[in-house]
Amino acid sequence: MKGLYPKYVKRLLDAVFAALLLAALSPLFLVLALLVAARLGRPVLFRQERPGQGARIFLLYKYRTMTDARGADGGLLPDAERLTDFGRALRRTSLDELPELLNILKGDMSFVGPRPLLVRYLPRYTPEQARRHETRPGLTGLAQVNGRNAITWEEKFALDVRYVDTVSFALDLGIFFRTARAVLGREGITGEGEATMGEFMGSQET
């Protein structure tokens, strides 16, 4: 990534707007925390290690959307059985993502960029797919406004790499507006036949 915007301006805008939003939305944060605690229990926040820029690991924050229900063997039940109606509503409106503003303020993430995925996916990427880690992961990105969880992993990663190669202020602004439309239209929340996006098991290089 070359240019003034991706190197300096983007991070400055991220920090300023994350701080402003955290202050402005603090009452909403409190209400959601109380609702999550009442409906799903504690802890209120879901914390998980994710790879960021340069594949460096950071701790991602979200509101929890699933219960800790377990089967007879003591193992967690499948996602579809632990995801409650309340949890689905949080995901459908993307309210579960609000705590990621803390990650943006800390510099782990950006408002726009490839979504931070699971650490165990790292060895499964092709060299081209791994280029998605050349920039900070984002709260939203090209994949989220072009199908979100309703497109294939390969399509997602191609969009992520395209973003890395073409990042600009105009592109980020366009993704913001398209994100609002996608969230309001409830587009691509889940993968076909899944409560969430199915696991990425790797791609066959051609």
Q: What DSSP letter does each residue of 51-102 carry, written as one string? A: E-GGG-EEEEEEE--B---B-TTSSBPPHHHHB-HHHHHHHHHTGGGTTHHH
Q: Tens digit of pLDDT for each residue in 92-149? A: 888 999 999 999 999 999 999 999 999 999 999 999 999 999 999 999 999 888 877 7
Q: What is the pLDDT of residue 75?
A: 78
Q: Is residue 31 part of a domain?
A: yes
**C-alpha of 95 from chain center:** 11
Q: Is residue 148 part of a domain?
A: yes
192: confidence class by pLDDT, cuts 50, 70, 90: very low
Q: Is residue 66 part of a domain?
A: yes
Q: Is residue 204 part of a domain?
A: no
Question: In which domain, by residue range, is 132 found?
Answer: 4-184
Q: Is residue 196 part of a domain?
A: no
Q: Is residue 189 part of a domain?
A: no
Q: What is the pLDDT of residue 193?
A: 37
Judge whether residue 12 has pLDDT over 90.
yes
Q: Is residue 115 part of a domain?
A: yes
Question: How many domains does the structure of the chain reveal?
Answer: 1
Q: Is residue 146 part of a domain?
A: yes
